[in-house]
Amino acid sequence: MARLAIIGTGYVGLTTGACFAHLGHDVVCADVDADKVARLQAGEVPIVEDRLDKLVGEGLDDGRLSFVVGAAAAVADCEFAFLCVPTPQDEDGSADLSYIEAASAEIGPVLPAESIVVNKSTVPVGSTRVVERVLGRADVTVVSNPEFLREGSAVRDFLHPDRIVIGCEDRAAAVRVLALYLGTTAPTLVTDPASAETIKYAANAFLATKLSFANAIAAVCEGVGADVEDVMLGLGYDHRIGAEFLRPGPGWGGSCFPKDTRALVRIAADGGYDFGLLDGVIAVNEEQFTRVVDKVRAAVGGDLADRTVAVWGLTFKAGTDDLRESPSLAVVHRLLAEGASVRAHDPTVASVADLPADLGEVAVGGDPLEACRGADVLVVLTEWDVFRWQDPAAVGEAMTAPALVDARNLLDRARWERHGFVHQGIGR
């Protein structure tokens, strides 16, 4: 079993640390956020992620998992240091490497001899070399090991990945990193760092493309009177296409797809290729937010000013509390800009204080029904199961009119129509 340091305890770092401890390694996780570290030391997991609290508790109890403030404090005795810090979007669309550089500069002088630095953050091609340069350590090997976990099923994805990708010219170091994953079963791919880094961007861009494609076909379905749900079923049975990521919705978002697609457009341009296809995928997504608002406006008779909109769901998808780049928030912004009042409910958002500051006008209700009181229209923006089972009769009574825009095609249309609702979905 190996001694690991994990730098950054966000969605990726905390999952990585807890899962590696579960696999039997000794893991020290570091963060710059002292409050977060204190909560984690007490076994309190600050994010919503299935099974993560159980694994963190197990690691703390077994003494295999600990938390410290500051990267330097974590790496002093490690064999492997995993970089799991943010790579946000820079002003020009490229990935901002300043967190990677800061963490590398911090650990460079204190890393034990012959240790391996593993980069799990999503970084542009060439970043392995950047880390090597900033570390300034000829005896330390840098390995690219992109992470593919999905928020909401991060623990399952880490322990049962579709594949493990290692990018490193030094095969012995690559094998040492692969050995850490013993206990998981997955195809493994050892390649050069540039290819490993490109695989991660290509995967996210392809998934975003599937979603934008589904939304574009939904628009076609609306124009020709087809039902996108059946169309996607018919499409997904084709093994060459696959059924996943073909669900139409209010647009894609989250902490990865928006920044990673824009970063890949930029990486391509820097490499001399105009990635018009991906530009189109991003444009279709922006249009989708507007298309949802168009439906809500139409549902209240053509003008949103002084109308009250009930919103079900604020996170970018169900199963997470992550609001970063949520399509829900993009839609809510547009509703507010047109003069609507918004009353929202999300199972993981307790109060308006949890929302970005520019959404301060949104009322956050304690339950789905509460959000509907006095509303002129209800719009479903996140696919939380709890919304599926709400009583249409009670919701209809709470609202001024039975108007419904289901941007996730989540609710049973026939059931809601039986209760008098005018139901508008996506692509049907």
Ligand X SMILES: NC(=O)c1ccc[n+]([C@@H]2O[C@H](COP(=O)([O-])OP(=O)(O)OC[C@H]3O[C@@H](n4cnc5c(N)ncnc54)[C@H](O)[C@@H]3O)[C@@H](O)[C@H]2O)c1
Give the interface with ligand X as residue ranges (CB under 6 A).
7-13, 30-33, 36, 71, 84-87, 99, 102-103, 106, 121-122, 147, 149, 151, 255-256
Residue in 276, 304, 311, 308 with CA at minimum distance from that of residue 400:
308
When the beta carbons of 132 and 197 are compared against ligand X, the nearer one is 197
The least distance separating ligand X from the CB of residue 147, rounded to whole angstroms, comes to 4
Nearest distance from C-beta of residue 202 to ligand X, angstroms? 14
Contact 355, 323 (CB under 8 A): yes
- State whether residue 101 is helix, strand or coil: helix
Phi and psi of 226, rounded to 5°? Answer: -95, 165
Written as six digits, the tokens of 119 are 């980069």
- Choosing from 84, 168, 256, 372, the catalytic residue is 256
Closer residue to ligand X in complex, CB, 201/312: 201
Q: Considering the complex, state which of residue 263 and residue 268 has its C-beta at the smaller distance from ligand X.
A: 263
What residues contact residue 193 under an 8 Å CB cut-off, 6+ apart? 128, 129, 142, 143, 144, 167, 168, 169
Minimum CB–partner distance for residue 181 and ligand X (Å): 16
**Residue 190 · residue 178 · CB < 8 Å:** yes
The residue assigned the tokens 């009181």 is: 373
d(CA 126, CA 2): 28
Residue with the closest Cβ to ligand X?
10
Please answer whether residues 114 and 176 qualify as being in contact, where contact means their C-beta atoms are separated by less than 8 angstroms.
Answer: no
CB of 160 to ligand X, least distance (A): 15
Q: What is the DSSP string of 356-387?
A: -GGGTT-EE-SSHHHHHTT-SEEEE-S--HHH
Q: At residue 125, what is the residue type?
A: V
Measured from the CB atom, is 103 or 380 closer to ligand X?
103
Q: Is 293 exposed, middle or buried (0-12, 13-18, 19+ CB in 10 A)?
A: buried
Phi-psi region of 301 (alpha: psi -120 to 50; beta: other; left: phi over 0): left
Question: CB 88 → ligand X: shortest distance, Å?
Answer: 8
Residue 137: CB minimum distance to ligand X, A: 17
Q: Closer to ligand X at the Cβ: 145 or 308?
A: 145
Comparison of 184 and 400: residue with beta carbon closer to ligand X: 184
19 carries an active-site annotation? no
Catalytic residue positions? 256
